[in-house]
């Protein structure tokens, strides 16, 4: 039985994880960590900070909170040799350096998206990338997301650029020569890939990867309608994370 502490346990994502991870065989949420008291504990203990948690009651820490908290979680896990799963994006270079340093002492899995559908859509996009002239990404999230573009879209763009490079495809030339409004063409993710970010209430997490070639187009779309869509991927990461030092980026290699 793997015992899990969720940092950010009072948030919407933390509450969804606490409720649903408990229903998966071999996993139990033992601790919820948050400065705000969670509405539901789901049988777990509650502490306001990870420093107050009992390390003997925790095997893996799952952090879906804020970048500053991730750095603290990484240091705590390294000190106590507990696995760490990170679902928070937007880390600064110094925060990421702390995570990398912690991975020298314990096992860390970090991903921009834990939805199996999102991971597979990125895999499919990398397969398609060498066969189309142009590609653009539209990512759509709820209006409380603080970073843009999303980590998921950046990861997808990187996979597409790498796949095109392996196939010997050169980056396409940007056709737009005049911006009537600055930024109208979105963010340049490199390799000719553009990312457009949408933030609206009512959304959760959605992404379209649009390919265009002579006379045809291909759209790969993924929709997370509910935060429960991330639970299975988090469970896979939790089972992988332990005290064995090392850093794993993404869960693509952890699924068949």
For every residue of 1-36, DSSP letters joined together read: -EEEEEETTTSHHHHHHHHHHTTSTTEEEEEEE-SS
The values of phi and psi at residue 101, to 5°, are -65, -40
User: Distance between CA atoms of 6 and 65, rounded to whole angstroms?
Assistant: 9
CB neighbourhood size of 96 (10 A) = 15
User: Distance between CA atoms of 222 and 119, rounded to whole angstroms?
Assistant: 9
| 3-class DSSP state of 47 | strand
User: Distance between CA atoms of 250 and 113, rounded to whole angstroms?
Assistant: 8
The encoded tokens of residue 198 equal: 């949408």
Strands lying side by side in the sheet with 134-141: 187-188, 194-199, 134-141, 205-213, 216-224
The residues annotated as belonging to the active site are 141, 145
User: Distance between CA atoms of 25 and 28, rounded to whole angstroms?
Assistant: 8
């Amino acid at each position: 039985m793997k015992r899990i502490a969720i940092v950010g346990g009072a948030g919407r994502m933390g509450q969804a994880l606490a409720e649903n991870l408990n229903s998966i065989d071999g996993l139990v949420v033992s601790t919820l960590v948050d400065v705000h008291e969670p509405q539901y504990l789901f049988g777990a203990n509650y502490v306001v900070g990870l420093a107050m948690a009992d390390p003997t009651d925790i095997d893996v820490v799952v952090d879906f909170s804020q970048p500053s908290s991730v750095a603290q979680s990484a240091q705590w896990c390294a000190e106590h040799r507990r696995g760490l799963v990170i679902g928070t994006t937007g880390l600064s270079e110094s925060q990421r350096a702390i995570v990398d340093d912690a991975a020298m002492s314990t096992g860390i899995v970090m991903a921009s998206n834990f939805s199996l559908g999102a991971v597979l859509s990125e895999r499919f996009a990398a397969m398609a990338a060498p066969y189309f002239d142009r590609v653009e990404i539209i990512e759509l999230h709820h209006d409380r997301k603080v970073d843009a573009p999303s980590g998921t879209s950046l990861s997808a763009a990187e996979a597409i650029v790498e796949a095109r490079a392996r196939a010997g495809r050169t980056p396409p030339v940007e056709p737009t020569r005049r911006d009537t409004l600055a930024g109208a063409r979105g963010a340049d993710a490199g390799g000719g890939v553009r990312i457009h970010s949408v933030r609206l209430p009512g959304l959760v997490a959605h992404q379209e990867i649009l390919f265009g070639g002579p006379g045809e187009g291909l759209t790969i779309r993924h929709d997370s309608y509910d935060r429960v869509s991330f639970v299975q991927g988090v469970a896979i990461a939790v089972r992988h994370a332990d005290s064995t030092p090392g850093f794993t980026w993404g869960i693509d290699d952890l699924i068949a």
